Structure 1
Amino acid sequence: MRVALCQIVSTPDPAANLELVADGLREAAAAGARLVVFPEATMACFGVPLAPLAEPLDGPWATEVRRLAAEAGITAVVGMFTPAGDGRVANTLLVTGPGVEAHYDKIHLFDAFGFAESRTVAPGAEPLVVEVDGTRVGVTTCYDVRFPGLFTTLAERGATAIVTAASWGAGEGKREQWELLVRARALDSTSWVVACGQADPRTAGVEPGGKAPTGIGYSTVATPTGTVHEQLADAPGVLVTELDPEAVDRARASIPVLANRRF
């Protein structure tokens, strides 16, 4: 399956960010991708009040993403925020395209490195696997990548490719952790991991402030044996690559960790 990773720098303006989604979808479709992944917080960057921006899944922002994906004839994974009902929001990935309509609310919230996502975001509870052109695709968000059990659960539910949409926090050693974790989760689940993050905002002339995780770039595709297949640098860009389903079969035959694990 051909996939595209659209590494962008979200702004605080959801309308402006829709233009980034439209551009990315057009470029991905022109390159023949069947699945396009945008980062967490595509709707609006972290570091701004999220509750006033959040919209339901049938609201105008998500409706326009659906229209754009349908127009491009491609399945899109796009980060947004939806009302949670308790004054907080859900950190949601909208998954929409031909024959696909689903969403995933981030399960593991980023209460780490001095940031408390749970203060404004309510956690999700249910893992998600969807089917895109015959490929079972698991869906995860950012901090989820630190939790191997979610990835092995998705693989047990049939996923052979797992998407991770992120807005990774900057800091000493964080790039190294990002790459290591993406590769490790691919090896844990013997699945392709397609990890698309926000670009470093400084590459777009925006100086990040505070502790909000606004992105470092380095979107990465890892093979089922944990090697880096392809990777972007820190600036905005689109990466289009092929996922070989037979690589999953080979990995699971030679490294049968899913079959052998006891806990």
Structure 2
Amino acid sequence: MRIAVAQIISSADPAANLDLVRDYTGRAKAAGAGLVVFPEATMRAFGNSLRGIAEPLDGPWATAVRDIAREHGIAVVAGMFTPGKDGRVRNTLLVTGPGVEASYDKVHLFDAFGFTESETVDAGEAPVTFEYNGTVFGLATCYDVRFPGLFTANANAGAQVTILCASWGAGPGKSEQWDLLVRARALDSTTFVVACGQADPASVGAGGAETSDTPGTAPTGIGHSAVITPLGAPLVTLGAEPELAVVDLDPAEVAQARRKLPVLANARRF
């Protein structure tokens, strides 16, 4: 399967961000991709009010993404915000396209490095997998990457590919942690990891990425999206700037990796 990674920079304007989805989806389709992955917070960048733009999965923003996917005959994964409990929102990944419809609410909220996501976001409750064109995908969002159990749960549910969407906060050592974590989670789960992050606003002269170890600042992205093999090797690595990358994944490599490295089969539960 050919997959595209759309490393964009979201703004505060959901309509302008839809234009980005439309543009990059068209480019992904032209490159032969069957699925295109956008980052967390594609709908609206962090650092802006989320409550006012949150909408259900059948609302106008999600419907527009659905129409884009249908127009181009390609599956789209994009981060949005849906209504949650107690006036909060849910940090949701929308999956839509020919023959597929799914969503995942971020389970692990980013209450770390001085940022408190749980103040405005209501946590999801369960892992989500979906099948598309004969391949099973798991879903994860940003801070989830620090929790191996979600990735192994997806793999045990049949996932061959884990899609990880992020708006990774900048700060000392954070880029190195991102690179390490996405490769480690591929090894933990023996899945491909397709990790798509928000690009760094500084890369286009729009001001530096926010430093997430400064209390209260919002993580706006550092780029460095990557596609990792089930044995932890990078297939694609991006820089800081907006970019579309396309890569071919062979699910047969997952079975091969699991024969060589049967960590899922060998795992003991304590």
| Segment of structure 1 superposing worse, 220-229 or 201-210 | 201-210
State how far apart, in whole Å, the 1-side matches of 2:70 and 2:129 are: 20
1:244-263 aligned at under 5 Å gives the runs 244-263=250-269
Superimposed CA distance per residue, residues 79-117 of structure 1 (whole angstroms, 9 cap, x where no aligned partner): 000111310000000000001111100000000000000
Secondary structure, in 3 states, of the residue corresponding to 1:122?
coil
Aligned residue type for 2:10: S
Matched, 1:5 2:11: no
Secondary structure, in 3 states, of the residue corresponding to 2:71?
helix
State how far apart, in whole Å, the 2-side matches of 1:157 and 1:144 are: 17
Q: CA deviation at 1:246?
A: 1.9
Check the 8 A contact 1:35/1:132 in 2, yes or no: no
User: Could you say which residue in structure 2 is the equivalent of 1:76?
Assistant: 76
State how far apart, in whole Å, the 1-side matches of 2:105 and 2:133 are: 23
User: Could you say which residue in structure 2 is the equivalent of 1:213?
Assistant: 219
Q: CA deviation at 1:241?
A: 0.2
Aligned residue type for 2:193: V
State how far apart, in whole Å, the 1-side matches of 2:257 and 2:217 are: 39
State how far apart, in whole Å, the 2-side matches of 1:247 and 1:102 are: 25
Q: What RMSD, in angstroms, separates the aligned Cα atoms of the two structures?
A: 0.9
Q: CA deviation at 1:4?
A: 0.3
State how far apart, in whole Å, the 2-side matches of 1:246 and 1:128 are: 22
Check the 8 A contact 1:9/1:204 in 2, yes or no: no
Q: CA deviation at 1:222?
A: 0.5
Q: Compute the TM-score of the two structures, normalised by the length of structure 1.
A: 0.98
Superimposed CA distance per residue, residues 158-189 of structure 1 (whole angstroms, 9 cap, x where no aligned partner): 00000000000000110110010000000000
State how far apart, in whole Å, the 2-side matches of 1:84 and 1:184 are: 31
Aligned residue type for 1:137: F
Q: CA deviation at 1:243?
A: 0.8
User: Could you say which residue in structure 1 is the equivalent of 2:93?
Assistant: 93
Q: CA deviation at 1:203?
A: 1.4
User: Could you say which residue in structure 2 is the equivalent of 1:235?
Assistant: 241
Check the 8 A contact 1:90/1:123 in 2, yes or no: yes
State how far apart, in whole Å, the 2-side matches of 1:225 and 1:216 are: 25
1:138-153 aligned at under 5 Å gives the runs 138-153=138-153
1:18-29 aligned at under 5 Å gives the runs 18-29=18-29
Check the 8 A contact 2:74/2:97 in 1, yes or no: yes
**How many residue pairs are counted as aligned between the two chains?**
263
Aligned residue type for 2:137: V
Superimposed CA distance per residue, residues 89-147 of structure 1 (whole angstroms, 9 cap, x where no aligned partner): 00000000001111100000000000000000000012111111100000110000000
State how far apart, in whole Å, the 2-side matches of 1:147 and 1:50 are: 25
Q: CA deviation at 1:229?
A: 1.0
Secondary structure, in 3 states, of the residue corresponding to 2:236?
strand
User: Could you say which residue in structure 2 is the equivalent of 1:194?
Assistant: 194
Q: CA deviation at 1:205?
A: 2.2
| Segment of structure 1 superposing worse, 148-157 or 50-59 | 50-59
State how far apart, in whole Å, the 1-side matches of 2:101 and 2:252 are: 27
State how far apart, in whole Å, the 2-side matches of 1:102 and 1:23 are: 22
Check the 8 A contact 2:85/2:122 in 1, yes or no: no
Q: CA deviation at 1:53?
A: 1.2
User: Could you say which residue in structure 1 is the equivalent of 2:213?
Assistant: none
Secondary structure, in 3 states, of the residue corresponding to 1:259?
helix
Aligned residue type for 1:134: G
Secondary structure, in 3 states, of the residue corresponding to 1:136?
strand
User: Could you say which residue in structure 2 is the equivalent of 1:106?
Assistant: 106
Secondary structure, in 3 states, of the residue corresponding to 1:121?
coil
Superimposed CA distance per residue, residues 38-72 of structure 1 (whole angstroms, 9 cap, x where no aligned partner): 00000000001110111111111000000000111
Q: CA deviation at 1:204?
A: 2.3
State how far apart, in whole Å, the 2-side matches of 1:48 and 1:243 are: 35
In structure 1, runs of 5+ residues without a counterpart are none
Matched, 1:167 2:176: no
State how far apart, in whole Å, the 1-side matches of 2:204 and 2:132 are: 32
